[in-house]
Amino acid sequence: MEQTLVFVKPDGVQRGLIGEVIARLERRGLRLAAAKFMQVTEEFAGQHYAIHQGKPFYDKLIAYIISAPVMAMVWEGSNAVEAVRQTMGATRPTEAAPGSIRHDFGLEIGRNLTHASDSVENAKQEIALWFKPGELVSWQRSIDEWVFE
Ligand code: IDP
Ligand code: MG
């Protein structure tokens, strides 16, 4: 089953939107595989966002991500990477589709509420960075056959 790394960023946590994000992913049919509420360190944020090092927004991005706790999760399901990116919406909230989280709750790219892996390959790397193998729960739901064909 395809898996993807999601976290509710500090603005989403401060605004009380952890439950909203979880509810939308559950409602979509995705299955939770792991969750961890944590304060990210500057070093860890640098590892997660290594690809953005040197970009003009990098320093502000790191400051944003360590400014309050985050809620990190692994979600799984058919096409989980693409489905979760769609539920989050485009990076810039004013370009995010109506009905997406970033559209419905956001205004600025630097306060866009959530992270979601952008490819299956990156999802694998990000899950390995954020979670130990033993923190992932392998389980079935009785409704799985009504969601996964
Ligand atoms: P993504 O989160 O949709 O995958 P990325 O391009 O990977 O978007 O950028 C990572 C994060 O960096 C974004 O979610 C956003 O918080 C921040 N970011 C990206 N581009 C900008 C920018 O131009 N200005 C400010 N922040 C940005
Ligand atoms: Mg990204």
pLDDT band at 102 (very low <50, low <70, confident <90, very high): very high
Cβ-based neighbours of 145, under 8 Å, separated by 6 or more: none
In-domain check, residue 48:
yes
In-domain check, residue 148:
no
In-domain check, residue 22:
yes
Q: Whose CA is nearest to atom 23 of ligand 1?
A: 57
User: 8 — phi, psi (to 5°)?
Assistant: -85, 120
Return left, alpha or beta for 89; rule: phi > 0 is left, psi -120 to 50 is alpha, else beta: left
Tally the domains of the chain. Answer: 1
If you average pLDDT over residues 61-90, what whole number do you get?
A: 98
Q: Is 118 in the pocket of ligand 1 (CB under 6 A)?
A: yes
CB atoms within 10 A of CB 10: 21
Ligand positioned closest to the Cα atom of 126: 2
In-domain check, residue 51:
yes
pLDDT band at 11 (very low <50, low <70, confident <90, very high): very high
Domain that holds residue 35: 2-137
- The identity of residue 71, as a single letter, is M
Mean of the per-residue pLDDT values for the chain? 98
What share of the chain in percent tops pLDDT 70?
100
In-domain check, residue 55:
yes
Closest CA to 78 of 125, 10, 11, 144: 144
In-domain check, residue 32:
yes
Q: Is 102 in the pocket of ligand 1 (CB under 6 A)?
A: no
Q: Is 95 helix (H, G, I), strand (E, B) or coil?
A: helix
In-domain check, residue 109:
yes
In-domain check, residue 46:
yes
Work out whether the CA dihedral 80, 89, 53, 110 comes out positive or negative: negative
Q: Provide the 8-state DSSP code for 111.
A: G
If you average pLDDT over residues 113-129, what whole number do you get?
A: 98
If you average pLDDT over residues 59-79, what whole number do you get?
A: 98
Closest CA to 135 of 38, 58, 41, 63: 38
Contact assessment for residue 9 and residue 113, using Cβ atoms and an 8 Å cutoff? yes
Alpha carbon distance 80, 4 (integer Å): 6
Let me know if 115 is a catalytic residue: yes
- CATH of residue 63: 3.30.70.141
